[in-house]
Structure 1
Amino acid sequence: MRINPALCIRCRGEYNLCGLSYCPVLTELRTRHILRGVTNRDRIDGSSPPSVFIGRVGYPRVNVYPATPPVHGDTSSLEDPRAWMGMRLEDFLSSRLSLVRGSVRVRVEDARNPPRTLHDVQVMVLSGKPVDSELVLKKPVSGRYVLDEHAPPFGPSSPLQKLRVNTLPPPPRIVDRVHSDTDLNATEAILTLYYHGIDVHHISRLLSVGALGVGKRRRLVPTRWSITAVDKQVSDKLLNEVRDYPLISEYRVYVRKFKDNTFIGILAPHTWLYEWAEAWWPGSTWNMWGGETALELDYEGYWGRDDYPSIGGCYYAARIAVLEALHSIRRQAAVILWREIYPGFNLPIGVWWVRENIRAMLSGPYERFHDLHDALKYVTGFLKLPISTWVSKSYVIRMLTRQSSIVDWLG
């Protein structure tokens, strides 16, 4: 995308005159400042939050990427999605892109009896606080940044010669206990950690480095797979409990507008049904060169689903957020979650974005309605895509209005 330089001169990173949700100039300058000199060095010394990325190319042999920024101190915010939500996008991007990665190739089953480097990566991830570490690289840092649909961004990489761990804060007690229990299967380990207050972001890293599960079956899990696996396992457990709760007593509508995104949540007094839908405008991340808005939707009925949704990991990231909300109020509902993504939001930054936005939306205020018609009429004022388009695609609305013509709901 080419940006008119005159807009940059007028804007100076303040007004988003280019139409993007972030300032690419500030992002680049801040990242360069943090990484200044790194591209000519073969040693990176800093405080890892801790961070690690597990690749999936070549599975069951994969690349493991321990990562650290070239700065010391409290870097925990680099692995804290709730902190990311309070950042400007350019600050989030530049801070995450400062995470320099060293790569080492191993077999996924090496997690059971790890070589020294992998062992050090595992104990780093167990820690609940930043770890002072040093990456000794085979050659100066090069390579591209990682921008992924599922995982948060990472900085450039180079083959790893040696990983030195200089300080190692102890892990949270529950993390240490679950990791040490080699008879506990991975699902039970995930749920134990979750119910003891460990966030799913940390749990997914533990799963990815092979630190959870029955000892003889532990293995490395590519980062994008581990994120979705944890979201699914936890939300499945929450759903089993939510299905036993009484129904909410009214229609509830939540709205959140944030950085060229609109999120809509409708909770209906009905047994569990769920849908997640996204409408991508031309010029947004996954519709950069299209001429029309592209809408995709996936759903499930009362008993959930067994197959992987075609819409991807955001489905489960949104699902866990809404089930956490229902679980907290001890109520059951049919759930409609819609998202519109507008031009200017053009970077894949991970499913955490959806999870944290839905969490934020559902923890905020909502409007009450006595019938679906009024709820949809209210929602119309916040959507750019015609409500008739949304309704015509909606599985949950079709189930809620089976005794009526859907046309009745568009009047």
Structure 2
Amino acid sequence: MVRFSELPPDFWREFRLWRSVRNEFSGLSPPGNFVGSINYPYINVGALVDGLGGDAAVLDSPEEWFRRGFTQWDVVRLRSRVILTRTRASVRSLSSPIIGRIQELSIGRNSVDVEVRLRKIVLRALADDYHAPLGNVGELRDLRITSNVSAEGIVERLVNDYDVDARTAVIELYRGLIPVSRIQRIFAVGLLGSARFRRLVPTRWSITAVDSIIGDYLRSRVVDYDEIGQVEVHEMEYMGNRYFVILMPGPWRYELIELKMPGSVWNRNGSTPRVFTDYEGVNGMSGYAENTGGAFYAIRLGVLEYLNKINRQASVIAIREVTPDYKVPVGIWQAREAVRNGMGVNVRRFSDIDETINYVNNSLLTGNLWLSHSRLIKELRSDLVRFIT
């Protein structure tokens, strides 16, 4: 989490609009929600509401932000219209009337009219590498839904199925073409899974959980495909983040190397790049990607979607270079959408791994720094030595 004082002035200036908001108002929920993680299991949970008017449907839709080519500041300005109308609850308090209304609007595929009564409103920035920024928080007294909530049949069926487990429900929604961000939203407010295990899930956890579940499902298909025939490098760039995804012949293995340059949002005052890595072997990963966090699962999802599309498996090195142009954290959605939309678009093919390494070294702003941190390159070279001897 980034402290409000650490964000550039251009960020917090946008949120002055809310100084005129009253304690009672009508507005539209995109729909959207946010579930906090501080003081778990007693947390803040709330609905996102637009009280300024405009196209509310786009306020909580990362897939649409990418499609429209939004910049970091476009997202900040957009989210400055949103107020988080929240209340405090136990993660198991699913019977609360207000929680029930937040759940109801959260399944919607279109904007929902709401009436809100607040105890107070405060200016408090919420920004990190998981979720889109928020800077307006209202302590909720009451929330009423004043329009019909419309949802797809598959959403209604799985929300009302108390026997299916959450993992199966997430996969069914994904296969039913429900956007990933909507699945994450529904998951966060405890609407998926068997009855005894349903509970509120902090938004940052729900984002990673859904990315991980979908990725595991895709990986289970990929490992049965033939290996890719040659080395490929897929390149994409978005919001000051540069991605190089190297696909190599071999069984499914995956590592993410993050290079966070001095002056970027996560290394503002550093003098050298900060390097973070995580690795998943042939048999998957035991535990959580502690070093790269949500980025590991978001980028993996995009890579696995592409491999499923071409019916191939590969050994994968994904490199994320965070440049000083990435000034405001807008959420891990930008990595997911950049990779899943960029795979297969800007591709270079090479005859061997050494040629590939030279190309990547010359293309990265951080040069060959990544190479000494790559476990997969070490494994490939070790395999080659054993083969020769």
TM-score tier by shorter-chain length is: over 0.9
Q: Mind listing any 5+ residue stretches in structure 2 that lack a counterpart?
A: 1-6
Q: Mind listing any 5+ residue stretches in structure 1 that lack a counterpart?
A: 1-21, 406-411
| Aligned match of 2:304 | 323
Is residue 187 of structure 1 aligned with residue 167 of structure 2?
yes
| Aligned match of 1:215 | 195
SS at match of 2:44: strand
Q: Is the 8 A contact 1:228 1:316 kept in 2?
A: yes
| Aligned match of 2:186 | 206
Q: Is the 8 A contact 1:72 1:132 kept in 2?
A: no
Structure 1 residue 166: Cα displacement: 1.0
Is residue 64 of structure 1 aligned with residue 45 of structure 2?
yes
Is residue 105 of structure 1 aligned with residue 88 of structure 2?
yes
> Paired residue for 2:337, among 356, 369, 381?
356
Q: Is the 8 A contact 2:115 2:145 kept in 1?
A: yes
> Paired residue for 2:117, among 104, 116, 136?
136
Q: How far, CA to CA, are the matches of 1:202 and 1:175 in structure 2?
A: 10
> Paired residue for 2:233, among 246, 253, 264?
253
> Paired residue for 2:366, among 372, 385, 397?
385
Over 2 Å off, 4+ runs: 22-25, 27-33, 71-74, 257-261
Structure 1 residue 78: Cα displacement: 1.3
Structure 1 residue 319: Cα displacement: 0.9
Q: Is the 8 A contact 2:72 2:328 kept in 1?
A: no
Q: How far, CA to CA, are the matches of 1:82 and 1:302 in structure 2?
A: 30
| Aligned match of 1:92 | 75
Aligned residue type for 1:95:
L
SS at match of 2:378: helix
TM-score where L is the length of structure 1: 0.87
Q: Deviations over 1:194-215 (max 9, x none)?
A: 1100122111111110111112
| Aligned match of 1:82 | 63
The structure-2 alpha-carbon separation of the partners of 1:378 and 1:302, relative to structure 1 and needing over 3 Å to count, comes to same
Structure 1 residue 231: Cα displacement: 0.6
Structure 1 residue 257: Cα displacement: 2.9
Aligned residue type for 1:176:
E
Q: Is the 8 A contact 1:191 1:234 kept in 2?
A: yes
Q: Deviations over 1:251-275 (max 9, x none)?
A: 1111123332221011001111101
1:9-408 equivalent positions in 2, closer than 5 A: 25=10, 30-33=14-17, 35=18, 37-38=20-21, 41-72=22-53, 74-85=55-66, 86-111=69-94, 114-139=95-120, 141-310=121-290, 311-387=292-368, 389-404=369-384
SS at match of 2:33: strand
Structure 1 residue 150: Cα displacement: 1.0
Q: How far, CA to CA, are the matches of 2:336 and 2:328 in structure 1?
A: 17
The structure-2 alpha-carbon separation of the partners of 1:51 and 1:309, relative to structure 1 and needing over 3 Å to count, comes to same
Q: Is the 8 A contact 2:28 2:114 kept in 1?
A: yes
| Aligned match of 1:12 | none
Q: How far, CA to CA, are the matches of 2:311 and 2:340 in structure 1?
A: 16
Q: Is the 8 A contact 1:146 1:154 kept in 2?
A: yes
Q: How far, CA to CA, are the matches of 1:277 and 1:125 in structure 2?
A: 34
Q: Is the 8 A contact 2:33 2:47 kept in 1?
A: yes
Structure ranking higher in strand proportion? 2
SS at match of 1:156: strand
Structure 1 residue 283: Cα displacement: 1.3
| Aligned match of 2:3 | none
Q: How far, CA to CA, are the matches of 2:135 and 2:307 in structure 1?
A: 37
Aligned residue type for 2:296:
Y
Q: How far, CA to CA, are the matches of 2:70 and 2:238 in structure 1?
A: 12
SS at match of 1:202: helix
Q: Is the 8 A contact 1:147 1:154 kept in 2?
A: yes
Q: How far, CA to CA, are the matches of 2:228 and 2:64 in structure 1?
A: 31
Q: How far, CA to CA, are the matches of 2:362 and 2:262 in structure 1?
A: 21
Aligned residue type for 1:362:
M
Structure 1 residue 367: Cα displacement: 1.1
Q: How far, CA to CA, are the matches of 1:259 and 1:57 in structure 2?
A: 28
Q: How far, CA to CA, are the matches of 1:37 and 1:363 in structure 2?
A: 47
Q: Is the 8 A contact 1:47 1:74 kept in 2?
A: no
Q: Is the 8 A contact 1:97 1:145 kept in 2?
A: no
Aligned length: 376
